[in-house]
Amino acid sequence: MGLGIEKIKKLFTKDNRRTERLVLPITMHYSTQNPPTESSWIGPIQTGDVGGGGLRFITDKKFKKGTELILRLQLPHHADPITVQAEVVWLDKTVKDREPAYSIGVEFRKINAEDRQEYVNFICDKILTNYLTAEGLVK
């Protein structure tokens, strides 16, 4: 394992998900309305971690598992946000700014192919530029 793959694996959160999550904040808004109206968006919120199949964020609103959310993800250096239909798959009580809050895990359910490619390219680019040298070695 010449690239130090174990070091790269430590950058990801460990759990039972189908895809690993990268600790990488992305600014997002969410709406419980489908289709969302401009006034229905809640945010901005910073994600806690992201992966190819979902993400985690903290909010003061409690959701039931199975709740459908529309996410608007604003990737850095991208003019237009990415819209994703997602479903709440887990939640945990937490604290935000000394107030009760919820850590919400969502799984992506629907995202158009162009947006998915942009999202995956963003994540891959961050992994490569932040954690590997130009020669492909772990920094």
For residue 70, the one-letter residue type is I
pLDDT digits (tens, 9 = 90+) for 106-134: 999 999 999 999 998 888 887 777 677 77
List the domain boundaries for the chain: 5-131
Q: How far apart are CA 41 and CA 131, in angstroms?
A: 34
Q: What is the pLDDT of residues 48-107, one digit of tens each?
A: 788 888 999 999 899 999 999 999 999 988 889 999 999 999 999 988 777 888 999 999
Whether 15 contacts 4, CB under 8 Å: no
Which CATH number applies to 5-131?
Answer: 2.40.10.220
Amino acid at 92: D
Single out the residue of 105, 116, 50, 53 nearest to residue 82, CA to CA. Answer: 116
Quote the distance between the C-alpha of residue 28 and its chain's center. Answer: 9
- Record the pTM: 0.76
Model confidence at 5, pLDDT cuts 50, 70, 90, reads low
Which stretches of the chain are assigned E, i.e. beta strand? 12-13, 21-22, 27-31, 42-51, 54-59, 68-74, 82-96, 99-110
